[in-house]
Structure 1
């Protein structure tokens, strides 16, 4: 897993790549929480280059969503591939997260 970010004021765009699973979830959680602690109130998490995502990672995303929502913030997910999008649809999380098909679409919202 690799994670990078670009911060513009209260908005952070986070690009994750590789496999997001039980082994990498703690690192991802710490990374996202640090951005929130540093003042980000909107996180755009780009999953375009993620090859695998498990339930532990879904738990991380849900916890970050809850934390930001309590403070009036927002988590947007960029999911351009049907295989990852299907996970969010099956679990009902497509109704929890703002899901965009591209970073361009996320920037417009």
Structure 2
């Protein structure tokens, strides 16, 4: 499956709306887009994962890179609307303690 990426502004926040799967094939596309948005100093990015039904460790790596980039230029990003199976990856790895996640846990598809 592919990953659909849409970005738009809501006030001062850039929303990155994702749909599909984040894996070794789609992660490079996501990484390029996310890091490009976060490289702007003081950027505020909200990553909406509501329609992401699968993510592997490659996806986690993208968000770790995003966190490092954001910290370097005083930007921030928040993960929102994670499905239960995707949130579980962040929880198991402890990344939910270092990344900002505003979660409305949704059941798997």
Q: Deviations over 1:19-62 (max 9, x none)?
A: 11000011111111222345661111111100100111110111
Identify which of 55, 68, 71 aligns with 2:70. 68
Cα distance in 1, alignment partners of residues 12 and 66 from structure 2 = 15
Alpha-carbon contact 1:15-1:47 (below 8 Å) kept: yes
Q: Give TM-score, length-normalised by structure 1.
A: 0.82
In the alignment of these two chains, the number of paired residues is 102
What is the root-mean-square deviation in Å for CA atoms of aligned residues?
Answer: 1.8
Q: Per the alignment, do residues 9 and 36 of structure 1 end up closer, same or farther by CA in structure 2, a change over 3 Å counting? A: farther
Q: Which runs of 5 or more residues in structure 1 are unaligned?
A: 103-109
Bigger helix fraction: 1
Q: Give TM-score, length-normalised by structure 2.
A: 0.82
Alpha-carbon contact 1:44-1:75 (below 8 Å) kept: yes
Alpha-carbon contact 2:39-2:75 (below 8 Å) kept: no
Cα distance in 1, alignment partners of residues 47 and 19 from structure 2 = 11
Q: Per the alignment, do residues 48 and 101 of structure 1 end up closer, same or farther by CA in structure 2, a change over 3 Å counting? A: same
